[in-house]
Amino acid sequence: MKTSIAALAAAVLLAGCATTTSPTGRTQIVGGVSQAQLNQMGEQAFAETKSKMRASTDARQQAYVRCIVTDIVRELPANWQQLNWESVVFVDENPNAFALPGGKVGVHTGILKVAQNQDQLAAVIAHEIGHVYANHHDERITRQMGAQGALGVAGALLGSRYGEGAQQSANQLGGAALQATFLLPGTRTQETEADVVGQDLMAKAGFDPRAAVGLWQNMIAASGGNRPPQWLSTHPNPENRISELQTRAASLVPVFEQAQAAGKRPRCG
């Protein structure tokens, strides 16, 4: 009975959400929280990251990343450009990067050693911004909210039988799960979509889309044949990804060349 009621609660909650289409044409269920709330969550998560991690004091590194973020963001629709975009380079040898709703981008110093030029780093940053632009955080939150609603019903049932303490524990667990879902990497479907969106964005910004191939080859080499770096952990098979990146790069070279001819010649590095 508990399972049936919880499932019903989740279904009712998701029924109130919206169906939209991602930049690649994929159908998404979003709207578990408002865009304003989503942006606020991203800003809060970024503020917490800044309080726990050390920002690089190398002004050149900060300017390098900020330059690439600015050029990539310029290719987004106007309403996305209007976000309060902010980037920070964090001192961390793990080759990683992330972007959050609200226009927040974090880059670890470790990825600067893997991405050997501005085009390769643009591939990383555009991929992460692609997650934000494709509403992947909203999608994950909405999915988790369905589970959260079910958990709330389960908590009420626990409270009626075992007391208020049990209900509070269940609800607190749900909040922790929601926060974790917001900050965890995306699904493989989302990661592949971020590749598509990111490679398109970088080409339109005047970065060479073929550099995404070299970036991933460097990432594999950086793993030393052992477990892949964190940034690779949830991504599809690296060899298949490289093949897909190569195919898309060939079709995006004209876009890149057109951008360059129009004066979009990034000089960030």
The residues assigned a catalytic role are 128
DSSP structural state of residue 236: S
Residues 31, 17: Cα–Cα separation, whole Å: 5
Residues 68, 238: Cα–Cα separation, whole Å: 24
The sign of the CA dihedral 9, 10, 13, 14 is: negative
- Which residue is listed with tokens 């269920």? 29
* C-alpha 238 chain-centroid distance: 18
The sign of the CA dihedral 16, 39, 199, 112 is: negative
In the chain, the largest separation of any two C-alpha atoms, in whole Å, equals 70
Strand, helix or coil for residue 53: coil
- For 166-230, the DSSP string reads HHHHHHHHHHHHHHHHHHS---HHHHHHHHHHHHHHHHHTT--TTHHHHHHHHHHHHTTTSSPPG
